[in-house]
Amino acid sequence: MPVNFSKLVVGTALAAASTLAVAVTPATWPVSPSRLYLSTPFGTLNIAPSEYVYESRLRVDSVDIEPAITGILNITYAFSTPKAQIALISINDGNNVCPISYRWVVLDASGYNLSPEFGSCSEQIQVMARGRLLTLRTPSHKAPGKIDVYTYDGKSIKHRVTTKP
């Protein structure tokens, strides 16, 4: 089978250039950890799987959390404080327009508390804890080129938009 030498050279050059571009592009957003259970002094937070997509359930000590949190779920981050264990839950409920949202779960001696649902529809997140404030940064869905910053103080979620660092 005859091979056109110029097409072979162009094809090889394009393949090499695209590989090089991918190899030198820095990863600006870390890959989020993923776990299905988290053992704490206040109980075990776990994801109860389902044979149906988008129907896994979030539980504490094998009891469904109320209000129910269902979907493709992951415990992405967890933080310990002297009096509580706090976990970030990623929720994919199958919505194609905004596939990912988040909720904080605070486990303590009195039980658990849930934050309101929040997020910018992206799996790309950076999470940090400073003192009592938990912060999630993610690319803005509504303002391209900007970063949505969500802070949680154990009671409410605050949102602001900033430029990329």
Mean pLDDT (whole number) for 67-71: 95
Nearest in space to 78 (alpha carbons), one of 106, 56, 55:
106
Residue 58 CA to chain centroid, in angstroms?
Answer: 15
Cα-based distances in Å from 36 to 15, 19, 44, 115: 39, 34, 10, 19
Q: pLDDT, tens digit, for every residue of 73-96?
A: 999 999 999 999 999 999 999 988
pLDDT surpassing 90 at residue 72: yes
The maximal CA–CA distance of the chain, rounded, in angstroms, is 76
Residues 95, 76: Cα–Cα separation, whole Å: 20
Q: Which residues pair with 150 in a beta bridge?
A: 136, 159
Amino acid at 129: A
- pTM of the predicted protein model: 0.80
